[in-house]
Chains A and B, each alone.
Chain A
Amino acid sequence: NAGVTQTPKFQVLKTGQSMTLQCAQDMNHNSMYWYRQDPGMGLRLIYYSASEGTTDKGEVPNGYNVSRLNKREFSLRLESAAPSQTSVYFCASSEITGTLRGSGNTIYFGEGSWLTVV
C-alpha cells in the first residue's frame, strides 16, 4: 500500500546546482501535483498535471520545471537552485478532476522531500 512515493527524502544543494525530485503513485490517479510548504505560508502549488500528457503552472512555478513521464510518474526539476528554494516539497495525486460530487477532490500526499540550498 505505497500510495505516493517521492525521492529523495533529504537533499542539500549548492546554489546553482540542479536536481530532480522523483514521484510515483500506484493509485491509478489521473492528476498529480507538486507543492512546497514553508513556515507560515502553508502549501503552495508549484505545478500540476491534470492528466497524463498535460502540465500546468500553479501558484509558484518560477525556477521549476516538471515532466509527467507517464500516468504513474511526475518529476520536478530545479535547473539552477537558489536559497529561496529551500523548502519541503510534497508530491501528491488525486483521482478525478471536475467531479460534481464525491471524493474526487481528495488529494493524497507523499512523505515529503526536505531540500536545503546553501
Chain B
Amino acid sequence: QKEVEQDPGPLSVPEGAIVSLNCTYSNSAFQYFMWYRQYSRKGPELLMYTYSSGNKEDGRFTAQVDKSSKYISLFIRDSQPSDSATYLCAMSGNTGGFKTIFGAGTRLFVKA
C-alpha cells in the first residue's frame, strides 16, 4: 500500500462546476499537507499549504485536512478552463522537505 493514494482521473467538468480532489494517506506522522498544480510540460508549483488539521481558503480554492480520517481535499469553486492541470497532493512530517511524499496526481480538464 502506498503512503499516499490519489485517484489519477482524468476528471472532466464543465466550466463553473465545483471540483473536489482528494487524497488519502496512511502515515499519522504527516503534519504538512500541500497541493501542487502542474500544467502540461511544466514543473509543479505550490498552490496551497496547510499545517495540521482544518481548512484553508484562498480565493476559489479551499483545502481541507481531516487527520482523524487521514483524508485531505482540495475544492475549486467556479472552475475555469485555466484550472485544467494535474493536481498533486503532498505531505510530510516535521523532518524537512526530503521526507515529502507526493500523490500520483489527478488530471483535471475544465471544459468551456
Contacts and interface: CB of A to CB of B under 8 A. Distances in A.
Contacts, number: 72
B41 interface: yes
Contacts of A112: 41-43
A64 interface: no
SS class, residues of chain A in contact with chain B: loop
A42 B100 contact: no
A42 B97 contact: no
Interface residues of B, number: 25
A37 to B, nearest CB: 9
Contact of A100 (B44, B94, B104): B94
Nearest to A48: B98
Interface of B: 6, 8, 32, 34, 41-46, 49, 51, 88, 90, 92, 94-98, 100, 102-105
Interface of A: 4, 31, 33, 40-43, 45, 48, 50, 56, 58, 90, 92, 94, 96-112
